[in-house]
Structure 1
Amino acid sequence: MSERITYPVKKREGLGKGANRRLRENGLIPGIFYSPTGENIPVETEVLPFAKLYKSVGKTTVFNLDIEGESKPCMLWKVEMHPFKSRVQHIDFYGVDLDKEVSVKVEIKQVGASKGVKAGGRLEDYRDTVTIVGKPELLPPFITVDVTEMQIEDAVFASALQLPEGVRVVYDNDFVILRVVPGRSSAAEETPEETGKKKKK
């Protein structure tokens, strides 16, 4: 297991919309750390260091949040963006108990070129994310689905996703993630003889 990133933040004193607006005007982002025990600590951080952190850990990787010298295992829970500018407005840092399971959404990434698509089929994806549950340090940043061997009418179900041991997909009823369906050419191919018979009718 790789060493966890440590990310420093400062406690913030001012609360409310006015105080948060002043922070943003000074190149800072307001946030809150939610501890597993229910303690909420208002914090602030700089824009550029946070952008690097977000790119590195996403929303499924545990890191150490250093709040003025006190280190806490943490995940990014919510990153609120400005409605029409590429700017982070607010951050929710979620403190985790490393021995307890958490639930997160992860992206599904496809790799490979399907044999069914090469034969004239069409790959339809019905879900690009799924919810998974597991202990924080076991969670993958994304789930990979290799579609190379998929033929026409083949499907990948949630229950068949490859996950680390100790991690599972959340669902009541199993569901299809993606399927190779017949394309127009493969679904409607007819021989000249069949076409002639239809014209005579």
Structure 2
Amino acid sequence: MKSITINGSKRESVGKKATKALRNAGQVPCVLYGVEGDPLHFAAEEISFKDLVYTPDVHTVKIKLKDGKSFDAILQDIQFHPVNDAILHIDFYQIFDDKPITMEIPVHTEGVARGVKNGGVLRYNLRRLKVRGLPGDLPDYIVADVSKLKIGQKLYVTGVASEDYVIQHPDNTVICQVRTSRNIVALDDDEDEDEVAPDEVPATETDDVAAVKEGEDN
């Protein structure tokens, strides 16, 4: 997974006046949790977070302080101004190479679904998956091959499983599916027989109408 470096300085005062002064100077107050002892309070230029916050991708973070100390971390929480969307505060959590972490990784689809070629529509239920693994084993994104999906079929999280990480969703969780539309075309002779065959649904699947509706709303 890619890493972004944030250069900052330790905060000596964490009161409201000091925090306001930081923001007025274009700095973002931050807290790093998971360090030995008390949480570490620091600040960094707001522009430093552009490639970390305003992107669909995920990154680990290398926090470098002026005193020479550095920490590997992940973004844990962020607060925005309710009117102008300026960054008000960011929480980070320190990570270690030998300790697993949980992150939400974006899903990138690959290929064109057979059902889409026949006039169906690909609907997404999840754009990100929560996975757990060692920092060095987590990918920038998870590839979901949809090329074999026919009309009425779904891609479950089991279809993108990997030995590098553990997916933190039930096996019957749907990533995407091909729905019917008004533009269905005639199928080739070799596809007629199995195009409308039911999904190979995991044994644990329950009624997922709510999940489907959520995917359509997105």
Q: TM class by shorter-chain length?
A: 0.7 to 0.9
Corresponding residue for 2:110? 111
Distance 1:53 1:175 in 2: 28
Corresponding residue for 1:125? 124
**How many Å apart are 1:182 and its aligned residue?**
2.1
Question: Where does 1:1-201 land on structure 2 (aligned, <5 Å)?
Answer: 5-37=4-36, 39-54=38-53, 59=58, 61-67=59-65, 68-163=67-162, 165-186=163-184
Residue type at the aligned position of 2:173: F
Distance 1:57 1:119 in 2: 30
* C-alpha distance after superposition, 1:143-171 (max 9, x if no partner): 222323322122110111154x3212112
Q: Cα–Cα, structure 1 residues 6 and 124, in superposed 2: closer, same or farther, change >3 Å?
A: closer
* C-alpha distance after superposition, 1:17-57 (max 9, x if no partner): 33222211111000001125453011000112232455689
Corresponding residue for 1:195? none
1:155, 1:177 within 8 Å by CA — same for their partners in 2?
yes
SS in 1 for 2:97: coil
TM-score (norm 2): 0.73
1:74, 1:93 within 8 Å by CA — same for their partners in 2?
yes
Q: Cα–Cα, structure 1 residues 143 and 114, in superposed 2: closer, same or farther, change >3 Å?
A: same
- Percent identity among equivalent residues? 27
SS in 2 for 1:117: helix
1:36, 1:97 within 8 Å by CA — same for their partners in 2?
no
Cα RMSD for the two superposed structures: 2.6
In structure 1, the gaps of 5 or more residues are: 188-201
2:57, 2:141 within 8 Å by CA — same for their partners in 1?
no
Equivalenced residue count is 184
1:58, 1:76 within 8 Å by CA — same for their partners in 2?
no
1:73, 1:97 within 8 Å by CA — same for their partners in 2?
yes
TM-score (norm 1): 0.78
Q: Cα–Cα, structure 1 residues 56 and 157, in superposed 2: closer, same or farther, change >3 Å?
A: closer
Of 95-104 and 37-46, deviating more is 37-46
Q: Cα–Cα, structure 1 residues 38 and 111, in superposed 2: closer, same or farther, change >3 Å?
A: farther
* C-alpha distance after superposition, 1:73-112 (max 9, x if no partner): 2222223222232321111121012111111112222233
Q: Cα–Cα, structure 1 residues 186 and 55, in superposed 2: closer, same or farther, change >3 Å?
A: closer
Distance 1:57 1:13 in 2: 33
